[in-house]
Structure 1
Amino acid sequence: MLLLLTAIGSVAVLWLFTKWQRTKKYWADRNVPYIPPHPLLGNLTFLLKQNPDPLWSSVRKRVSPSFTGAKLRAIHKHFVDKSRELVKRIKIEMESNKCVNLRMMFTDFTTDVVGLTAFGVRGDATLTGQSPLRDVTRGFMKFNYLRGLSWACIFFFPELVDVFGFSFFPKSATNFFTKLFKQVVKERGGYNVCIGQNKDFLDVLRSIKQDSDKNNQEMPENILIAQAAAMLQGGFDTTGSALTFCTYELAHSPHYQEIIYDELLQNKDKILNGNPDAEVFHEMKYLNAALKETLRKYMSMGWIDRVASTDYQIDENLTIKAGTPVYVNAGGMHYDPEYYPDPEKFDPDRFLPENEKNLTPFTYMPFGEGPRFCLGKRFGVQNATCALAYIILNYKIVAKPNSHLPREVEIEKKSLFFVPGEYLYVDFVPRDV
């Protein structure tokens, strides 16, 4: 018996050793640069698991019309109104505290914008820092090692998620948001009333539920709540962080800030006293270039994941098999000096129209590429450029003495997203407008 067990054990060890040798040399045999794998963890072995999601695809098709040009033009007035409130908030903060916590102020602002435009929920967080929805997003912004472990398991070891009850968002914030979501749906008459033309993202979700019920298709409410939470997360924190980084960079790059200010002066009366449309801000090349350069340096997520739909031959040694997940190191390309010389430098000139056309295709992907690019791209850009325009037209942004240079800013290590890991402050000096 002992001899048999020894033989079985030896065969198992030999099999594992042989398999390990093949696995270890997989990329080397195909002349592909690689990081040597760990014997137990490999190179994130979860990436070899296919994760088809037809439900996600179906919901995405229904949600896409929420971000058309016509829809964005209709809600642009909310971007303007909240941007004007943002200018007032800065005045209040500077007079009372002599400093402004950039990320908290900007996420107060973006929470209000997403709440109003996506869910019809009005809030005063831009002015006061407080609202029911802001309580939710403030919970979304809290990071600790347990939440970091949760996110790691969701993406790297999904089989452990249900075992330990991990979730993407903190439980308390999720419960509060669920309650708020159901309350707003109830105020609109639930899922069974005639919805008519979709006014906002919440109406789109109600329509999806209504159509699914009519066709006897399963559409649990928690799926809709998850979509709403994802919309909130993607809409408030990514734009809030981009505004934070852009403002901080401009404080340390007064030359570019003044160029943007001169651009804004050409439309001063329309912006300050009228109802400027999105095209006014879209035509300001340096304003948009500064935001694009910010998104190059501070991409919300440093990688893009895709699944090969068919076998794709790279060369005679390498073929990506259909169903294989592929992760693109977009953040690495954004910092590759071959594509962006002196990549640590904040240089909006890279994205001026005459220079942008010379960029190597697919080396700039802050919103992804292809049919699965970020649906909220235009929403976020339009919101951010509007806010920056009002701030720069009303205030000169000045770096605080002895503050960290942008390249020295600490990044949050326990977050999936690329967000500041420290409070960032600047001085806002009123301009003579």
Structure 2
Amino acid sequence: MYYIFVLPLFIISLWLYSKWVSMKNYWKKLGVPSEPVHPLFGSMSFLQKKNPGTWFIELYQKYRPSPYVGIWIFWRRGLVINDPDLSRKILVKDADTFRNRMLASGKSDPMGALNLFTVDDPLWTSLRRRLTSVFTGSKLRGWQELYQAKVDDLIYRINSDNEKGIVSELKSLFADYATDIIGESSFGIQCQSTRNSTGPLRMMTKEFEKYNQWRGMAWSSIFFLPEMVDILRFSFWPKNTVTYFRKIFKVMVEERGGFEKDIDGKRDLLDALLKMKIDAQKENQEMDIDILISNAMIFLQGGYDTSSSALTYAVYELAYNREYQKILYDELVEAEKALNGKRFDAESLAKLPYLDAVIKETMRKYPIMGWLDRKALRDYQVNEKLTIPANTVVYINAIGMHWDPKYFPNPEEFRPDRFLPENANNIVPYSYLPFGEGPRMCIGKRIGMNTVRYALAAVVLNFEIFPLAKLPQPNDIPIETKGLLYHPAIPLSVEFKRRK
């Protein structure tokens, strides 16, 4: 009877040990520097203790100047790319080999599994082609009045908070503003959260921001161990927000005339999603409504989160770097005078070199997601020394390169002049990847840049920005550990003093 229990345990232990030894020696045999391997977690034992962005920076610095580092994503092979030339090769030149991502949600979570961010080919190609029309230059120019109205609301909100003695928490303030931009431009919903931090979509985005232990584990699984998603019934978004958004989406569709009304898909994101469904019906194809809702939710999450984070870090850095704040203010004043009474539009803002440099430097130092994951569809020759087998996960270590003094001297310093036109030739191609590159680069880059430009210009024109006592210096900001995005772990605030 004793042997019935001991023998299987011995066999399992022996198998685990041999598996661990194999993992330990795998990259060493290939001549690739590699991280120590935990028998269960591989190289991932940092999860929920350290932000992945922080980990990727440390990994890069530990193994510099190696162009790559071998890791194990639990029991799956992974290769971290620390080299701009190899990054270009994987993201652009050989993109067909790396069309799919590692991260995925399961069958139990269709909302998380069916959007442009997580889905694989062939559905990804179809979605990307149909949704690209939402972000054309002409479309963004049509949102001019929306941006102007929302930055007016933003200035009103800061003034109102000042009069009431309220110290605005930056991430929340800019999340209110960015949620309004996405809600009205993408869905045609009238939003007022910039003024009062309320509204149906802002209720959802506030839920998106909450990362407890369970949701942190859910995101860790989706990004690094998708097999566990269905087993533990994890979800990309809080389940109450999915239920709530289903109701909102149904109302929005009914207001547009449902799926029976013919539509050109050119008005906004909602129109483009409706047209996808209508076209599928005409071609006698099935298109689950969950695909539409999932993509609507990912645009809301991606649009508000990245813009509000960039604005938070930019304003916080300007409070501590007042010489840069002065240069930016002077540029904005001169540009405003040249408009002869007209208001800034997307085109005039895009031509301001120092505004552009401040935003780019913010995204260098604080990329919201500092790595790009891809999965090799076939055996792939990385260089003359290394070939990786199919299904190896490849991570482009963007944040590591952003913090490499070889490409960005004194990377811990906030220095917008790095990105001024006269210094453009100093930026090594593919060492700077805040939006990714290649076919799977961020589809919302244009709207994101516009959202940040309008808000940052309005804030700096209307207010002097000062640091507050007892808050950390920029380089001492603790970074979120439960969530995976590069968010501050504490509320950040500044003093806004109205300019005369």
Q: TM-score, normalised by structure 1?
A: 0.93
Task: Please say if residues 140 and 169 of structure 1, whose CA atoms lie closer than 8 Å, have aligned partners that are also in contact.
Answer: yes
Task: Please say if residues 77 and 275 of structure 1, whose CA atoms lie closer than 8 Å, have aligned partners that are also in contact.
Answer: no
Equivalences for residues 140-155 of structure 1 within 5 A: 140-155=208-223
Match in the other structure for 1:200: 268
Letter matched to residue 32 of structure 1: V
Match in the other structure for 1:106: 174
Equivalences for residues 86-235 of structure 1 within 5 A: 86-235=154-303
Percent identity over the alignment is 44
Match in the other structure for 1:414: 482
**Is residue 24 of structure 2 the alignment partner of residue 24 of structure 1?**
yes
Deviation at 1:314, TM superposition (A): 3.0
Match in the other structure for 2:110: none
Letter matched to residue 167 of structure 2: C
3-state SS, counterpart of residue 394 of structure 2: strand
Tell me, in whole angstroms, the C-alpha distance in 2 between the residues paired with 1:212 and 1:181. 19
3-state SS, counterpart of residue 130 of structure 1: coil
| Aligned partner (choices 44, 49, 53) of residue 73 of structure 2 | 44
Would the alpha carbon gap of residues 44 and 277 (structure 1) be closer, same or farther in structure 2, given more than 3 Å must change?
Answer: same
**How many residue pairs align between the two structures?**
432
Gaps (5+ residues) in structure 2?
Answer: 43-71, 79-99, 103-119
Match in the other structure for 1:392: 460
| Aligned partner (choices 407, 414, 425) of residue 493 of structure 2 | 425
Task: Please say if residues 336 and 343 of structure 2, whose CA atoms lie closer than 8 Å, have aligned partners that are also in contact.
Answer: no
3-state SS, counterpart of residue 236 of structure 2: coil
Letter matched to residue 215 of structure 1: E
Task: Please say if residues 82 and 113 of structure 1, whose CA atoms lie closer than 8 Å, have aligned partners that are also in contact.
Answer: yes
Match in the other structure for 2:361: 293
Match in the other structure for 2:306: 238
Tell me, in whole angstroms, the C-alpha distance in 2 between the residues paired with 1:419 and 1:152. 15
Deviation at 1:307, TM superposition (A): 2.5
Equivalences for residues 278-289 of structure 1 within 5 A: 278-289=346-357
3-state SS, counterpart of residue 422 of structure 1: coil
Tell me, in whole angstroms, the C-alpha distance in 2 between the residues paired with 1:252 and 1:9. 59
Tell me, in whole angstroms, the C-alpha distance in 1 between the residues paired with 2:223 and 2:482. 14
Deviation at 1:179, TM superposition (A): 0.9
Would the alpha carbon gap of residues 213 and 81 (structure 1) be closer, same or farther in structure 2, given more than 3 Å must change?
Answer: same
Letter matched to residue 219 of structure 1: M
Would the alpha carbon gap of residues 111 and 272 (structure 1) be closer, same or farther in structure 2, given more than 3 Å must change?
Answer: farther
Match in the other structure for 1:66: 134
Tell me, in whole angstroms, the C-alpha distance in 1 between the residues paired with 2:494 and 2:205. 23
Tell me, in whole angstroms, the C-alpha distance in 2 between the residues paired with 1:5 and 1:412. 44
Per-residue deviation, residues 180-221 of structure 1 (Å, max 9, x unmatched): 111111111111211135200011011111111222222111
Letter matched to residue 284 of structure 1: L
Higher relative contact order (CA 8 A, sep 6+): 2
Task: Please say if residues 313 and 362 of structure 2, whose CA atoms lie closer than 8 Å, have aligned partners that are also in contact.
Answer: yes
Letter matched to residue 22 of structure 2: R
Per-residue deviation, residues 385-433 of structure 1 (Å, max 9, x unmatched): 111111111111111134310111122211121112211111111112x
Letter matched to residue 41 of structure 2: L
Tell me, in whole angstroms, the C-alpha distance in 1 between the residues paired with 2:488 and 2:347. 31
Task: Please say if residues 265 and 273 of structure 2, whose CA atoms lie closer than 8 Å, have aligned partners that are also in contact.
Answer: no
Per-residue deviation, residues 17-68 of structure 1 (Å, max 9, x unmatched): 5554333211111221110222233221465597643212211111111111
Tell me, in whole angstroms, the C-alpha distance in 2 between the residues paired with 1:404 and 1:3. 60
Task: Please say if residues 46 and 157 of structure 1, whose CA atoms lie closer than 8 Å, have aligned partners that are also in contact.
Answer: no
Letter matched to residue 189 of structure 2: V
3-state SS, counterpart of residue 266 of structure 1: helix
**Is residue 63 of structure 2 the alignment partner of residue 34 of structure 1?**
no
Task: Please say if residues 265 and 272 of structure 2, whose CA atoms lie closer than 8 Å, have aligned partners that are also in contact.
Answer: no
Deviation at 1:247, TM superposition (A): 0.3
Tell me, in whole angstroms, the C-alpha distance in 2 between the residues paired with 1:77 and 1:410. 37
Per-residue deviation, residues 111-144 of structure 1 (Å, max 9, x unmatched): 0000000000111111111111111111111121
**Is residue 369 of structure 2 the alignment partner of residue 340 of structure 1?**
no
Tell me, in whole angstroms, the C-alpha distance in 2 between the residues paired with 1:187 and 1:60. 25
Task: Please say if residues 46 and 156 of structure 1, whose CA atoms lie closer than 8 Å, have aligned partners that are also in contact.
Answer: no
Q: TM-score, normalised by structure 2?
A: 0.81
Tell me, in whole angstroms, the C-alpha distance in 2 between the residues paired with 1:66 and 1:389. 25
Deviation at 1:310, TM superposition (A): 5.0
Q: Over the residues paired in the alignment, what is the CA RMSD in angstroms?
A: 2.4
Task: Please say if residues 118 and 200 of structure 1, whose CA atoms lie closer than 8 Å, have aligned partners that are also in contact.
Answer: yes
| Aligned partner (choices 241, 248, 259) of residue 327 of structure 2 | 259
Tell me, in whole angstroms, the C-alpha distance in 2 between the residues paired with 1:92 and 1:12. 65
3-state SS, counterpart of residue 466 of structure 2: strand
